[in-house]
Structure 1
């Protein structure tokens, strides 16, 4: 297939990856028509919303990219069959969650949506179509996709159809996705068809230097995505394990991280101790890797990677236990303000957010939680905690009935001062910039003394907390 013939792209899946990726491709390739399709009408309506502040995905800079391209060569639609039929290239960018039941439950990826997409492509494609795996997939998933596509000998109009399959995994960090797309460290394209690879290279070459476009075989590409996330997650678990040792010995994990990060062989990235990793990828991809290792008879390798996830969970439970211990051994009936619910700053994504496990542990202990996050709405928090919000109590009137009964409750707070008023403790779980700029001299008098600040993100200035008369716990900071 001639490289110059790529004029129409269809992306199946309008989520965190598909929407922003296609928006940038459309923005940088004005000669290519890009259509993002999804069967979720509400999601498509949100992408087409005239108010760009209400896009279904929050990413800094995304609204500007959509504004430039939408309506020109970027389209969002539920007309899946028509978009596939018109496309020279189809990206599969659907969710691949961890299976909850059946073979491989708790570790293997649920590929039902990928298979459904492949079958839809066989029904709707015309002529020659390049199918690109954008979703994070287990190694050798392309074999299944190829087998399904091979079953389609003719298109719906009777003409011959042919396919090529490529793997083009995403390496986006939520909060910097647009920056990562516009100036990527690398673009990885795996495949066996040189012409198909060249066609996809021609798309990225509109803005990505050739030396940053890496070509591999299909299996290396699929495995590279899982491995990249596993290595990043392992660094987070490693530094968090050291943070616990620092607290026990009187060392400071920030100083240790600076010392080892200065070694060029190690580097400074992903050495920030905190409440553990979250998001849609790290845990899911490592568990997928664990499953694959066991499937291919490598139990020792599987156990190694599984320990990364186990330590991540341990760190979150440890933070919750620390809060309970510092508050005289009980948080029952006590007001605790949680600042930050998203798994990281500059995103509204709460998937596998550390705040979920920490909040659940405290609720189990009977805590009364006021939760503030600038981008996460209360409905999402309720779904994540599997507990509806209660009405914000009147601090002046004393304990609520729920508090007296020992029942854990939570309520959303749009205002930081309101969340903190009457609180016994504040826990910072997301590194939003506004939490770095809080005036603790003003906030401290609102709290019930003796009060604590638990800084799981190293965003506060210790001297300011101490000057305000508050007790401070910072992750990885031992007491001399």
Structure 2
């Protein structure tokens, strides 16, 4: 303050904190913004808080119908966001749990999920069996929910939601075990082509992608991995595979890949190059181009017997078997002599 300057005090403005969680999905974020299922606004249950809620509601009302703008208290808004992602992940883990049972009994998980989805109380969305869910939200939000439950003295509820993640981890381990057991109980020094590394198609996002754990599982058995993804860079793949993973059930850090293991991984920008001289193919992302590849050309360039392990159920397994592949599809009746193999845990 300068000499002789008079200090003037003004009343500090009063701020209100609102909760306005987003429900955008990667690949459709702009569409989700302009045509949302709902907009959720949470605020304090005071006159000032409700005035702030109505102010924000008026902004959204310019393009969102008023009956789709929901207003709640702060905790309801925060938990609604976590619950939405937890419920979606739960559906994926549920159908993936059924996929293991389908393989054990000879049922077809696509037929089961279709029949279940025709029930109007359930619906068909998020009932596609796969090698597991990934992305930045599902696991993070479930773990947030687990933490809140434990802090509020609800261990049984926390354990319920933990199980959703455990089934997801189990599905990835089961997939790796199926690959190894199908290829005569070892993939050591065998080339495995991994088609797709992103956690879902139409994005280059690799956060929590199942491909990381599957690749690490195969590398643990000394496989040679060749990876192709149309959007994920080699640097990103190498960083993901070199990163430590924290096991929250057994709090120790798993070891990152050693320089020797890193040499067992190659990244290509062509699916045909990735599969050349490979013993097996693992389809890890549901990219549309994987449905239309020339699999006869791929088969001719591979070692024999040639295996396809479809972690997303994107290829026509019968057509591939006609070409000569031994095919494993998540939750589908097993191929030929694989039927006589014991269930993979």
- With normalisation by structure 2, the TM-score equals 0.86
Instruction: Decide whether the 8 Å contact of 2:186 with 2:221 is kept in 1.
Output: yes
Match of 1:420 among 260, 271, 275: 275
2:319 is equivalent to residue 464 of structure 1: yes
- Cα drift, residue 301 of structure 1: 0.8
Distance 2:175 2:24 in 1: 28
Q: Does 1:295 align with 2:151?
A: yes
Shift of 1:165: 0.6
CA distance in 1, matches of 2:131, 2:28: 20
Instruction: Tell me which residue corresponds to 1:178.
Output: 30
Query: What is the CA-CA distance between 1:408 and the residue it aligns to?
Result: 6.8
Alignment of 1:209 with 2:61, yes or no, is: no
C-alpha separation in 2, matches of 1:331 and 1:203: 57
| Mapped partners of 1:288, 1:220: distance in 2 | 15
Structure 2 contact 201–285 (Cα < 8 Å) conserved: yes
Measure, in 2, the Cα distance between the counterparts of 1:171 and 1:241.
Answer: 26
Q: How does 1:179-198 map to 2 (within 5 A)?
A: 179-192=31-44, 193-198=49-54
Shift of 1:478: 2.2
Superposed CA deviations along residues 224-247 of structure 1, whole A, max 9, x for unmatched, are 011111111111111000000000
**Using a 3 Å threshold, how does the CA distance of structure 1 residues 326 and 190 change in structure 2: closer, same or farther?**
same
* Count of residue correspondences: 307
Which SS does the other structure have where 2:181 is aligned?
Answer: helix
> Which residue is equivalent to 2:87?
231
Give the 3 Å change call, closer, same or farther, for CA 198–406 of structure 1 in structure 2.
closer
Q: Is the 8 A contact 2:131 2:312 kept in 1?
A: yes
Conservation of the 8 A alpha-carbon contact between 1:244 and 1:476: yes
Structure 2, unpaired ranges of 5+: 1-8, 244-259, 340-345
* Corresponding residue of 1:169: 21
**2:17 counterpart SS class:** strand
Aligned partner (choices 148, 155, 160) of residue 304 of structure 1? 160
Matched-pair contact (CA < 8 Å) for 2:199–2:285:
yes
1:448 lines up with 2:303 in the alignment: yes
In structure 1, C-alpha distance between the alignment counterparts of 2:261 and 2:87, rounded to whole Å: 42
1:375 to 2:231 alignment? yes
Q: Which residue of 2 aligns with 1:477?
A: 332
Q: Where in structure 1 are there 5+ consecutive unaligned residues?
A: 1-156, 388-404
Residue 270 (structure 2) pairs with residue 411 (structure 1): no
Contact residue 219 and residue 261 of structure 2 kept, 8 A? no
1:352 maps to 2:204: no
Could you list the per-position Cα deviations for residues 263-284 of structure 1 after superposition, in whole angstroms to 9, with x for gaps in the alignment?
0011111100001111111111
Cα pair 2:190 2:278 within 8 Å, conserved: yes
Question: In structure 1, what is the equivalent of residue 102 of structure 2?
Answer: 246
Instruction: Indicate the RMSD between aligned Cα atoms, in angstroms.
Output: 1.6
Aligned to 2:342: none
TM score, norm. by length of structure 1: 0.62
Does structure 1 retain, via aligned residues, the 8 Å contact 2:17–2:43? yes
